[in-house]
Amino acid sequence: MDIVKIEITTPLPAEVTVGRSYKIEGVATFAGEIGPPPFLYAEVQKKDWYKPEILEETTYERGFAIPIGGAFSIKWEPEKAGKYEVTVVATPAPLSLPVIGVPPVVGQSDMMSVTTVEVESQVLDLKITEYAVISGG
């Protein structure tokens, strides 16, 4: 049983865009008590079908919780296209990156499956509106 209960109120969309910022919001409380745990992270695992789990890329994004009520927010900006599994985890101590081994986890949220896609930027109505010769100097 988790010591910390983590409820996601604003999950990630199923499909997100590389280079754009997203927020995971929720509430984290100690079981039966008021107040959040001090250390919350979004554990982001890149799922590549050809890689065994032990070789998967895993990154951690730090979240911050409000002392009263336990509401938290974690910002994530995907850098690569692909499939990801994102879980918010609570730990009793800060994770030092890179994480080696399995960090102690005292609570975790439901897992969110996310696909990140590259979106091409659009530049519309590009024009040179004015020009001049500079005199003087």
Partner 1 sequence: MTSSVRLAVPPSVIQVSPGKQITGVVEFDYIGPAAPGAIIRLAMYSWTVADAHNEKAFKTITYPIPDSPDPGIHIKMAPITIQLPSTGLPAGLSYGLLAKVSGIAGKDWVCYIGLNDPPYYQWIIEVLAVEPQVSNLRISSYSKV
| Shortest distance in whole angstroms from residue 119 CB to partner 1 | 6
| 134 near partner 1, rule: CB under 8 A | yes
Map residues 6-25 to x or -, x wherever contact with partner 1 holds by CB under 8 A.
Answer: -----------xxxxx----
> Binding to partner 1 (CB under 8 A): which residues in 50-89?
none
Pairing status of strand 107-108 against strand 71-76: unpaired
Distance CA 7, CA 69 (A): 12
Contact of 63 with 88, CB cutoff 8 Å: yes
- Residue 71 burial (CB < 10 Å; 0-12/13-18/19+)? middle
| Shortest distance in whole angstroms from residue 89 CB to partner 1 | 27
Contact of 88 with 24, CB cutoff 8 Å: yes
Q: Of 93 and 132, which has the nearer Cβ to partner 1?
A: 132
> Binding to partner 1 (CB under 8 A): which residues in 84-123?
118-123
3-class DSSP assignment, residue 73? strand
Number of residues that bind partner 1 (CB under 8 A): 25
Of 1, 50, 101, 125, the one binding partner 1 by CB under 8 A: 125
Distance CA 110, CA 88 (A): 8
Q: Of 1 and 126, which has the nearer Cβ to partner 1?
A: 126
- Contacts to partner 1 by CB under 8 A: 17-21, 118-137
